[in-house]
Amino acid sequence: MNCSEGSCSSCISNVLKKILILQAKDYECNSYAGCDKPFLGPIATQVCYNTRPIQLYNCCNGSPWTFEYTLPDGSSGSSNVFRIESMDDCCCTCRLLTLDPTTSQYVNTGQFVTIDLNCCGALRCLTDTFIDLCS
């Protein structure tokens, strides 16, 4: 599929919608595995997770979407890990996450990107985690 042609990928869009619901804790607890399991974390009874980090891949060349960020302390870098925040038609707004080298945990950069799902050929889900959304 050419990045500029067609409608958004329904399979990626559907999984992202499920992740949005999970992050809002609007689900019934069942036991599934994979990107669309209906709870965050290893078991449904734990509520210490609020994010299913994702990576989205460019449909034209297969590379992960990567964006630059600058933290409040002035440090900067790039990341290809996101927390989905909202969806509008074929676009998703994502919070950019980065890995804290001292804790090996994802942290909120406070920066957002909007990605056209017409340009996404693959989705990868990472291990569920807790993200401080206020920082």
What pLDDT is recorded for position 27? 47
Mean pLDDT by 10 residues, the chain (135 residues): 56 89 64 62 66 94 95 93 93 95 92 93 92 82
What pLDDT is recorded for position 133? 85
Give domain limits for the chain.
10-125
What pLDDT is recorded for position 1? 41
Q: How far apart are the C-alpha atoms of 129 and 113, rounded to whole Å? A: 20
- φ, ψ of residue 121 in degrees (nearest 5): -105, -15
Q: How far apart are the C-alpha atoms of 109 and 117, rounded to whole Å? A: 22
Closest-CA residue to 70 (of 61, 79, 59, 83):
79
Q: Does this model's pTM top 0.85?
A: no
